[in-house]
Amino acid sequence: MNRRKTLKTLLVGSIAGAALGTTACKNEGSETVVEQVVNSNSNLYGRTPEEIEIDKKLMAQTFLNEHELETIAVLCDIILPPSDTAGGATDAKVPAFIEFMVKDLPANQLPMRGGLAWLENESHSRFNKSFKALTNEEQIQIVEDIAYEDKATPEMEYGVQFFNLMRNLTLTGYYTSEMGIKDLGYQGNRANVWDGVPEEILKDHDVEYDPEWLAKCVDQEKRNDIAEWDDQGNLLT
């Protein structure tokens, strides 16, 4: 199982929420991207006028500078790169989501800014360059040292904490976006039609339907009929 499939498996059933609007993200200024996210979400169903005003107030503020957002974008796409069937984290505007979240939850501001500073210092110490200017191989070398907590050395502890924060925000931002929800294959509720448990799931659990019950319970021509039971509680029709 590749990394993206592993992350999807971990996320299914654990993250739910309204889909964020998605418009082109790459090669745009950070302010433009953030403004598009606000405009596409200010009228989401269920948002109260007070919540909308809070969102607008937060969006009018700036916390992360352009260099920090560009560094976050690189790291986001390392955590969740594009696949053959879906875009990556920056395609779903995860950096703008992270900018919003650190303003909405100020407790994350110091860990985020401090973590970015740690990452820059580590990059200059190893390669004498900013993290976003490193080659992909050099970036991965640093990431590998902070992505696995059980394997990290003590001097990487702060980097590990920062990467955990980035990973959580990246996955939350992506899999609550329209693109991420489609990537999960979530289809929402379907009323009035049930074809039974999919055949591949039945095979995985080594079970199958009893033909008699299948005819009684999953016959779509009878889905509007009212069930009838005998005195012993047996389903008749």
Predicted pLDDT at 26: 39
Residue 56 has pLDDT above 80, yes or no: yes
Break the chain down into helix, strand, coil percent, rounded to 5: 60, 0, 40
pTM over 0.85: no
- Per-residue HEC secondary structure of 176-194 comes to CEHHHHHHHCCCCCCCCCC
Residue 181 has pLDDT above 70, yes or no: yes
Query: What is the residue type of 235?
Result: L
Residue 219 has pLDDT above 90, yes or no: no
> Residue 153: pLDDT band by 50, 70, 90 thresholds?
very high
Predicted pLDDT at 214: 74
The contacts of residue 197 (CB under 8 Å, 6+ apart) are 209
Look at 8 and 153; give whichever has higher pLDDT. 153
DSSP letters spanning 70-134: HHHHHHHHHHS---SSS--TGGGTHHHHHHHHHHHSGGGHHHHHHHHHHHHHHHHHHHSS-GGGS
C-alpha separations of 13 from 81, 175, 185, 205 in Å: 21, 11, 12, 20
| pLDDT tens track for 37-49 | 444 454 555 678 8
> Residue 218: pLDDT band by 50, 70, 90 thresholds?
low
Residue 36 has pLDDT above 60, yes or no: no
| pLDDT tens track for 83-119 | 888 999 999 999 999 999 999 999 999 999 999 999 9
The predicted model gives 215-229 an average pLDDT of 71
> Residue 121: pLDDT band by 50, 70, 90 thresholds?
very high
Least confident among 15-29, 95-109, 143-157, 180-194 = 15-29
Query: What is the residue type of 178?
Result: E
Predicted pLDDT at 223: 66
> Residue 4: pLDDT band by 50, 70, 90 thresholds?
low
Any idea where the domains of the chain sit in the sequence? 3-184, 190-237
According to DSSP, the residues that pair with 235 across neighbouring strands are 229
